[in-house]
Amino acid sequence: MTLIATDAPAATTVDLAQSSVRELNQLLHDAADGTSWTVASPVGSHNIAVGIIADIDVTIEGNVGYYFAGMHQTGTATVHGSAGVGLAENIMSGIVHVTGDASQSTGATGHGGLVIVDGNTGARCGISMKGVDIVVGGSIGHASAFMAQAGRLVVCGDAGEALGDSIYEARIYVRGEVASVGADCVEKEMRPEHLAELAELLERAGRAERPEEFRRYGSARNLYHFKVDNAGSY
């Protein structure tokens, strides 16, 4: 069997000045694996590229609104611009990449996949994350990784107040300052396996920072285990 290299087919362009978000999303849901799509004139519209289940490459030229690439399943969705609330909310797998900033609740409840924000995010980045990896080139707001259960959150800048409040088992890596850690979130030792996984995440996100520059945070595990000493309180 001979594999013949072919040029990737040209991307299909959808202009949201002419088409509705609903029409765009239907095209993306019906798209064949391996196809590429470019979206023009997003002007901050909500729900763009939500629920992609084909292995496609979608690029948005401009800023998007709420819930961009929510429930993302496969392929890559890229925003050349900034994103509103709930970027890649409940992402399952695949890659979502924003070259600008993202608002609050980036990657909220995400089960898997990779969310990359080159700029900053607002509050509640990775809230209730359940396995997603999130790499932020800038800083994140307060209450990030609140009740995080699994996955990795990498922050190349600073983290706001109450980082990792009530965290379960996600791992958080921060290069800059942490304004404060939340309940049951503590700084932890950076062991070789952590440096290794951080190096891989930074590389996948196209970052130049070195793993040694980061500190690791995680759960002290005091909050979610029942303590027999407290039995009398119930």
Shortest Å, Cβ 45 to another protein: 6
Q: Does 103 bind another protein (CB under 8 A)?
A: yes
Please state, in angstroms and rounded to a whole number, the distance separating the CA atoms of residues 108 and 147.
11
Among 122, 164, 182, 218, binds another protein (CB under 8 A): 122
**Spatial CB neighbours of 46, under 8 Å, sequence gap ≥ 6:** 21, 65, 66, 67, 84
Nearer to another protein, 37 or 68 (CB): 68
Provide the 3-class DSSP secondary structure of residue 154: strand
Which CB atom, from 140 or from 198, has the smaller least distance to another protein?
140
- Sheet-wide strand order for 114-117: 12-15, 36-40, 57-61, 76-80, 95-98, 114-117, 130-136, 150-155, 171-174, 215-219, 185-188
Q: Which is nearer to another protein, 109 or 139 (CB)?
A: 139
**Binder among 45, 106, 128, 144 for another protein (CB under 8 A):** 45
141 binds another protein (CB under 8 A): yes
- Give the residue with the Cβ less far from another protein, 158 or 169: 158
Residue 65 in the binding site for another protein (CB under 8 A): yes
**β 76-80/57-61 pair status:** parallel
When binding is defined by CB under 8 A, the residue of 84, 94, 131, 211 that contacts another protein is: 84
Contacting residue, 21, 136, 143, 159, with another protein by CB under 8 A: 143
DSSP string, 29-89: HHPPTT-EEEEE--TT-SSTTTT--SS-EEEEES---TTTTTT--SSEEEEES-B-TTTTT
Q: Residue 139 burial (CB < 10 Å; 0-12/13-18/19+)? A: buried
* Residue of the chain from 87, 98, 117, 123 that contacts another protein (CB under 8 A): 123
DSSP-assigned letters across all residues of 174-231: ESS-BS-B-TTEEEE---HHHHHHHHHHHHHTT----GGG-EEEEE-SSSSS--GGGG
The stretch among 30-38, 59-67, 131-139, 149-157 that binds another protein (CB under 8 A) is 59-67
Residue closer to another protein (CB basis): 84 or 113: 84
Question: Can you tell me which of 24, 47, 52, 66 binds another protein, judged by CB under 8 A?
Answer: 66
Nearer to another protein, 38 or 93 (CB): 38
Q: Is 82 in the site for another protein (CB under 8 A)?
A: yes
Among 21, 85, 140, 181, binds another protein (CB under 8 A): 85
**Footprint of another protein on this chain (CB under 8 A)?**
43-46, 63, 65-66, 82, 84-85, 101, 103-104, 122-123, 141-143
